[in-house]
Structure 1
Amino acid sequence: MTDKPEQPPTGSKREGPQVIAEKINRAPPQDNKTAINVAIMDGVSVTFSVEVGRISIPFRSVRTLKQGEVIALDRPINDPMDIRVNGTLVGRGQVVSTEAKKFGIRITEIIAPTNETH
């Protein structure tokens, strides 16, 4: 048995001020500023997206698209997909099928964000 306080469950619900205060209080004094920043950010929702590929085409081509047409993208079929968080490239991965028969992404590479990854 440990003396650590029980961690609140994590999930998609935003954390209230009491939970954030508890996280701050659990942090060592020298890390208090970091704990405040992390505690605040833990409640922020972000958009996670997977990009299959891109292509630049004239607008007139977009206007004449018809159902059933195929648009070739810039990425070979076996290349990993780009993983983006709020539009920033953070990794790459392979498309998989989940147990719930939905698309998933297996992360194969983590990319440290830089100015060029936007």
Structure 2
Amino acid sequence: MIKDPTVSVSPDNTTFNTDELNFDDFQLEDFDTPAATAPTLSAERDLSFFKNIPVTVTLEVASKEVPLGDLMKAGEGSIIELDKLNGEPLDVKVNGTLMGHAEVVVINEKYGLRLIDVLDTALSGVGK
């Protein structure tokens, strides 16, 4: 058995002698700059794995908060005025988060959307 000179062990193996521990032997200055010791990531990561993850894209026409009592009075033919003007771009949301704005188009008898703008914050962190 090799005895470590920095550790004193009593017969019951529960005593640690801190007087014999020399902290000068440790190079603690390396911990002052965590960015320097962190591994650097390649500028070009392979993101192909993420390309197959399904997300939900929603085109939100408009919204309006109404009291539940007013909504309970609504019936067939009732009109609820929304908060967006005719012709304004519609909100495009991905999994509930605003991605940008778009307009409605019809392609082959189906609705679609034409992106007008994409928010920079929607793509921040992708590929970094």
Residue identity matched to 2:115:
I
Structure-to-structure mapping, 1:33-112, within 5 angstroms: 34-35=45-46, 38-98=47-107, 100-112=108-120
Whole-Å separation in 1 of the counterparts to 2:114 and 2:75:
33
Residue identity matched to 1:102:
K
Residue identity matched to 1:85:
V
Structure 1 unmatched ranges of 5 or more: 1-29
Whole-Å separation in 2 of the counterparts to 1:91 and 1:32:
26
Q: Deviations over 1:30-54 (max 9, x none)?
A: 749821xx13211210000000011
Displacement of 1:97 after TM fit? 1.1
Q: How many residues align?
A: 82
The structure with the larger Rg is 2
- Report what 2:121 is aligned to: 113
- SS of residue paired to 1:34: coil
- SS of residue paired to 2:91: strand
Percent identity, please: 27
Residue identity matched to 1:86:
N
Q: TM-score, normalised by structure 2?
A: 0.58
- Report what 1:7 is aligned to: none
Residue identity matched to 2:49:
I
Structure 2 unmatched ranges of 5 or more: 1-40, 123-128
Whole-Å separation in 2 of the counterparts to 1:104 and 1:39:
26
